[in-house]
Amino acid sequence: MSEHDVQREVTELQSKSATAARIFDLRRIIGGLFVLYGIIVTIAGINPSD
């Protein structure tokens, strides 16, 4: 492997790592749970209860 190939491979791995970090970011997961909770509460509030 030449120096250029190694550098290119390192760059690819860094971009894949950054993408994985964004997908599994804890703030996104918590935000998604809040959105899901809000949707459930809204649906429960719209539907009449007995």
Average pLDDT over residues 18-25: 76
- Residue 36's pLDDT is 98
Q: What is the mean pLDDT of the chain?
A: 85
Q: Is residue 39 part of a domain?
A: yes
Is residue 30 in a domain?
A: yes
Q: Is the pLDDT assigned to residue 2 strictly greater than 90?
A: no
In a domain, 42, yes or no: yes
Domain annotation covers residue 17: no
pTM over 0.75: no
C-alpha gyration radius of the chain: 21
pLDDT at 50 over 70: no
Specify if 37 maps to a domain. Answer: yes
23 pLDDT higher than 80:
no
17 vs 45 pLDDT, higher one = 45
Evaluate whether residue 18 is within a structural domain: no
- For 44, the domain range is 25-50
Q: How many domains is the chain built from?
A: 1
Task: With respect to residue 12, please indicate whether it lies within any of the assigned structural domains.
Answer: no
